[in-house]
Structures are given as C-alpha cells and as structure tokens.
Chain A
Amino acid sequence: MSIVVLDPTLAYQPPAARLAPRLPEIAGRTIALLDNGKKNVAPFLDAVEALLRERYGAGEIIRARKPNQNAPAPPELIAALAHADAALSAVGD
C-alpha cells in the first residue's frame, strides 16, 4: 500500500524576470559597478575596474554604492545606472 505526498517547494512561479542578453564585447562600453556597502567590496571592485579598463578596454566605468547592505538597491540608484550597457553587483563582507 503506497501513499502520495506533495512537493513542499514552490515549483510554479509567475515569470518575474528574464536574463538580459550577454554583451558581445566590453570594449568601449559603459559598465556600472555596484558596491554592496560592506568593507571589502571597494578594493575588489578597484581591481575589477582596472581589469575592465586594461584588459578589456571598457569605456566609462560608473561606481555606485548601496546605502543599505541588507536591502536591495533603491530605485533611484538603479535608475541612475540604467543607461549603462552592463552592471556588475559585488558582495563583500
């Protein structure tokens, strides 16, 4: 004699977001670097910025910092970065 049990995870979710298409190249592009506000992000993003410029020839690099480490970036901050071709969000601790 068998029993039926139900899956406790949320398998169904309404489609909230899709992945944006990948940039074909970084050279000349505007890249936003978003800092999560914790101590070690800044030096990490400094190194990433240097790599993006020197190795990949990125155009403008915009640096931004979340005001609250534990909550998503506020809409005004996202809006200010929205003109970039790509964004990189980094988590430090």
Chain B
Amino acid sequence: MAIATELHARRYEVDDALAANELFQRNGWTDGLPIVPPTPELVGAALEWLGLAPDEIVGIEPVRGIAITAEVVAINAVMAGCLPSFVPVVAAAIAAMCEEPYLLHGSSASTGGSAPLIIVNGPIRQEIGMHASHNALANGSRANATIGRAVRLLLINALGCRPGTLDQSTLGHPGKYTYCLAEDEEHSPWTPLAQERGIPAGTSAVTVLAAEAPRQIMNEWTEDPEELLETYAAEIRANMLHYSIWPGNYVIVIPKQHRDILAAAGWGKRAVREYLYRRARVRRGDWHAAGKSAIARRGDPAQEYAAFETPDDALIVAAGGPAGGFGAIIPPWLGNRGRAVTRAIGACVEC
C-alpha cells in the first residue's frame, strides 16, 4: 500500500499483538487499557479513509506550537480501536480542540481535571453506528467508545499530557478514558446542537468542550416544564457553589421522557435555554452553606452570579434511553476559560 511507505513514525518489531501491547504499556503510551497495535497497514487504511497525507497538519496546539499530523492522529485512533470510518470524527475533534477558544493546553494541564467532551451531530452518527439512546453517556457503541478514547490517547502521546507531568489534574474523572456523546436527532423534535451553532443541516459536525463529569438529575414527578427544568437549574446552582461559580458553556443532556414533556408543552431548545438562563443563578452569600465562608465574606452577600452570560451558552443535547426521568448537566472545566467549539467533519463550512 502506497501510504504505508510514506509514514514517518519510528517502527518497532514485536512478536505479536500481545507483545505490542506490553511494549506500549511499558512506554507509557496507553491509558492503562489494552491497545490495538498500530501497524503500518492499519494506520494506512485509517489515513486512506481520512483522505489526508501522513504529514498533513490536522491542527496546531497554539501554546507550544505543536503540529499534530494526520499520521499521529491515525496511529492513536487505531490504538484506541477505531475503524477507519471513525477517524474523520477524531480528526475533526482534534482540529476543533486546537482552536484558541477551547484552550487545549490550559484545560489539559489544569488541576481542575477536565476531559475533552465530544458531541457528534449529523448523518455520520448512523453511518458509523454511534448510539444516542440507551446508556448514551457510557458504553454501547464501538464508535462512541473508541472516538473518545482516540482523542485522549493523542493528548497523552502527541502532547505529553501524562499525570504528574503536564497533566496536573488532582482527581480527573472517568471521562478521561472516553467521553463521546451522539445526539439522538431521530427521536427529537428539536434542532440538532451543531445546526443551532451554525453548521448547515445535513452536515456532520463535532462540538468539543473541556468538561467535568456529568451531574445526573432525576425528576419523574411532574408534567410541568418549569418544574422539570427547575431540577436541572438546581443542579447547575449546586455546581456553581460546590465547584465553580463562573459562567460558561454547560451541556444539558435531556432524555426522551423529559423531551416529551417539554415538547407537549410547546417548549423547544430556545425556551429551555431561556428558562435555565433565568434560573441558574446564585448569590455570593450562598457560599456560606457550602463551606466557603472565606470567599463569601469578601464581597456583598447579595451579589448575584449567573451560570450563563447569554442563553446561547447553554448547549442542549437530546440523548438518553426512552424510559427514565434522568437528565444531566455537564459543567465546563472553568467557566469561560475554555469555550465549546463546533466544527464540520470532512467539509470546510467557511470556505
């Protein structure tokens, strides 16, 4: 295969796949889980599907000026277990993470311990078998699992984000193994997230955000849209007081049971955003009840803080199984320091 001869990465000869895995584990090139050996043939196949030459640049990490090549993306995607058809999603996510507003270096080095959350929209979800209903935030799809993992392995291997060195996360969270969510566009009456953020309908896209772990809420006791969303707002308020009070992009995951209630009342994403914008607010004095009197005392206790500077900062995603009143709020790593970035897959929308 032609591409296999153009690859620049150093080559290692090992006995078999198990030996390859042991080599990679010893070298610190994995997340601790077994990897698929990135042979030149597998990497070549990934690059063919991606349609890029090995040394073409997918993105440049802006702080250190590190050029991330298609080859290194393909190697880490193969290791993660991606099929070739998944690799364009991985590449789009990496390119989006290299855009300044995402703040890749700061967010992946921070003691705050965030993970790159990848939200996928458009036809590619069906083409590659992503899952968006049952267990939407966990396992169930090879594509979801391996796309999220590929991004993480690339951060470890190409950018050196290893715990205790560049990655100073105090705790991190399990999303750092994989954190990839598809929107359930087929079972939602609402506009897909990427389309709301400017991607043309029918074009596949990723939205990436340096994010904390999901906070799950439960409400199965009301048909009133405001009451229902109040539970989400309360969880955001708790995050503001317990974790970080600063405003930013929160991802709001709304399952079918809740979407049906909201839609029946005529509420679309805009109404949901506007409600949360009004209600996700706390006062400085509220910090006293959360063990933070030291900072509560530094200002006016009546001073109000909002989770959203504008309703558009709330990113609503329809996902989750058909039964169960369980939704989630996913907070940003640190307010507006890292912003969500949306990017088309395999197409240049601004060209």
Contacts and interface: CB of A to CB of B under 8 A. Distances in A.
B337 A71 contact: yes
Interface class of chain A by DSSP: loop
Nearest to A93: B111
Given A70-B103, A70-B337, A4 B11 contact: yes
Contact of B38 (A6, A14, A70): A6
B40 to A, nearest CB: 6
A9 to B, nearest CB: 5
B67 A14 contact: yes
Given A5-B39, A8-B153, A70 B107 contact: yes
A13 B66 contact: yes
Contacts, number: 90
Interface string B53-87: 00000000001111111001001100100000000
B124 interface: no
Given A10-B66, A10-B68, A5 B11 contact: yes
Contacts of A68: 337
A7 B12 contact: yes
Among A4, A5, A9, the one with the most B-chain Cβ atoms within 10 Å of its Cβ is: A5
B157 A9 contact: yes
Interface in B96-116: 103, 105-107, 110-111
B39 A8 contact: no
Interface residues of A, number: 20
B145 to A, nearest CB: 18
A7 B67 contact: no
Interface of A: 1-14, 16, 68, 70-72, 93
Contacts of B26: none
B43 interface: yes
B13 A2 contact: yes
A6 B13 contact: no
Contacts of B11: 4-7
A6 B29 CA distance: 11
B29 A2 contact: no
A62 B29 CA distance: 42
A7 B69 CA distance: 13
Contacts of B160: 9
B39 A2 contact: no
Contacts of B65: 16
A72 B61 CA distance: 13
B138 to A, nearest CB: 26
Contacts of A8: 9, 24, 29, 38, 72, 75-76, 79, 153, 157-158
